[in-house]
Amino acid sequence: MPASPSSSRHPISGTRTADRAAHVVAGPRPRTALPASSWSAPVPDRPARTWSVVLAVTGGLATETAFPERSWWPMAFVGIALLLLALRRESARWGFVVGALYGLAFFLPHVWWANEAVGQPIGWVALSIFQALYLAGFGAAWVWVRRGPWVRGHPWVQVVAVAVLWVGAEQVRGRWPFGGFPWGTLAFSQTEGPLLPLASVGGEPLVSGAVVVLGALLALVGLRLSRRRLAWAGAPATVALALAFLPALVPLGTGAEAGTLRVGVVQGNVPVQGAEAMGQAREVAENHADGTLALLERTEPGELDLVLWPESASDIDPRTDAAVAAVVDDAARAVGAPILLGTQQFLPGLRYNNYILWEPGTGADPQVEYTKQRPVPFGEYVPYREFFRRITSAVDLVTTDMVAGTGEALVRVGIERLGRAVPITAAICFEVAYDDLIRDGVLAGGELIVIPTNNASFGLTQESAQQLAMSRFRAAEHGRAVVQVSTVGVSGVIGPDGEVLDRTGLFTAEQMVAELPLRTSLTTADRLGEWPGTVVNVLALVLLVGGLAGRHRRAR
């Protein structure tokens, strides 16, 4: 018996054949209200592809302005909202394209410093494209996830689900491949805003998740207002306001718990901006020695407990070069304090990035040394060199591969005034972006965090300010004072609550003096460790599997 017209459905739209005929005769169907799902719009309510592109690109550019140098932190919410609005079409392939466009619009300006460092655009463009692929994957995955039986038709569940999926993608991007690249993590955009105290509770996963939830709520409010559903817009607007500002009430301890440390911070600058590093290494060491002597204009000899020099303050190893050793030792004797300084150790075909302690009159203490554990791929070493050389000869700008160190990110410095060794968490340059490395150093006993860095290769770009924002995040996350000390700037002294107490300019020779609290208590984020990220990854995987299963059921 033939099926009646009312029982026949169109294979794409799902509407009944008779209904479609009536629709053709009667004219356009009124715009459908969305009582449940606000992301999976019916056909008439979907944004055109052109508008999807505009929203995605605008969203990426808006998100980037939330990061230094601009630091317009609310723009991160706006950027995420625009991305989610651009992702409302029910096509995973189109979601991939939209996510990629958003990612390129964000990363191309965000890592512009890579072009400055390499001297040709291939490194900058390749890095931007590769990072954008993670956001492309997020875009496709979100289309799948919202089809899941637990997510589809439930806007509030979708708000949480999209945050889980985003943070899961960030976790993968920050760890794979070659150790990952956490640069551009949304949490780092919030160091000027009221969400920063959440870092002490759940670290990057919680703060990034909160940013995405706020962006999703903002998109939800915008959609409901566009449909003149004013009453329905009130609830997400209220929740968004509460989530945006209530975290500022989370208490952050700042007092000293194990005494204080009097430090001098020396930013020596480089003689010639952009010159080859080793060619001016002796002059850079002399600049930092001069800066140490300049500390005596503000302090008396022996008044400081410790002087901090940056990464590459002496790329010629004072442990093996007598002339450089004399420069360092004269400075340490004059100020009457040990110096923590960055140098490089060369072995046949290999090099190590070391942070060592120089005692006045004694020299390098062989028991106090940290070796960088996360060298930068394609910046400090080249994986699969032969393969990538076929793509570009720029890989040979890295002439000697840097080898990763092992052990804790910690140095124990004997402080005579305190009568004990003070454990200091140390992470060199880009390592400030890796939460597990610094957390391990704090859990091992670190009472202060020091980030020695060398930003000379990045010119006048925003790279050093982005690093300073990460240092601020680490301070609030672990409840520790942080010192970021750079060869050329930006250097900064940061309180345990993330507040910048003092900072320098860029490509200047400056010094800072500070008395910093030494702290031993652990934050909730320290105690939880990897658990927030692990839980998010599991939930993201469950959501993705559920979404794919839902898609399969509907296809059948």
The ranges assigned to domains in the chain are 43-252+533-555, 260-372+404-519
Rounded CA-CA distance 250/197 in Å is 6
Q: Which residue has the higher pLDDT, 159 or 273?
A: 159
431 catalytic residue (yes or no): no
How far is residue 89's CA from residue 45's CA, in Å, rounded to a whole number? 9
* Residue 337 near residue 264 (C-beta atoms within 8 A): yes
Written as six digits, the tokens of 122 are: 């291939």
Backbone angles phi, psi at 296, to 5 degrees: -70, -10
Q: What is the mean pLDDT of the chain?
A: 90
Low-confidence winner among 193-207, 317-331, 389-403 (lowest mean pLDDT)? 389-403
User: Is 429 a catalytic site residue?
Assistant: yes
Nearest to 493 by CA among 509, 511, 506, 478: 511
The total number of residues shown for the chain amounts to 556
Identify the active-site residue in 64, 170, 311, 431: 311
120 alpha carbon, distance to own chain's centre: 24
CA pair distance 166, 63, nearest whole angstrom: 14
* Residue whose C-alpha is closest to residue 196's, from 517, 530, 528, 497: 497
pLDDT in tens, 346-405: 998 899 999 999 999 999 999 999 999 999 998 899 998 888 888 888 888 888 999 999
Catalytic residue among 429, 447, 463, 477: 429
**545 secondary structure, DSSP code:** H
pLDDT above 50: residue 345: yes
How many other C-beta atoms can be found within 10 angstroms of the C-beta atom of residue 448?
Answer: 25
Give the pLDDT mean for 409-417: 97
Strand, helix or coil at 501? strand
| pLDDT for the residue numbered 548 | 85
**Per-residue pLDDT tens over the stretch 100-131:** 999 999 999 999 999 998 888 999 999 999 99
CA atoms lying within 13 Å on the CB side of residue 7:
4
Write down the residue that tokens 């463009």 correspond to.
125
Residue type, 225: L
pLDDT given for residue 230 in this prediction: 74
**CA max distance for the chain:** 103
Q: What is the pLDDT of residue 26?
A: 42
pLDDT at 71 over 80: yes
SS3 549: helix
- Residue 236 preceded by cis peptide, ω within 30: no
Contact 485, 309 (CB under 8 A): yes
Best CATH choice for the domain 260-372+404-519 from the list 3.40.640.10, 3.60.110.10, 3.20.20.10, 3.40.1160.10: 3.60.110.10
Q: Which of 192, 204, 286, 372 is catalytic?
A: 372
Q: How far is CA 362 from the centre of its chain?
A: 39
Instruction: Using alpha carbons only, give the angle 346, 350, 353 rounded to the nearest 5 degrees.
Output: 60
Q: What is the DSSP letter of 45?
A: G
Q: Is 463 a catalytic residue?
A: no
d(CA 329, CA 364): 10
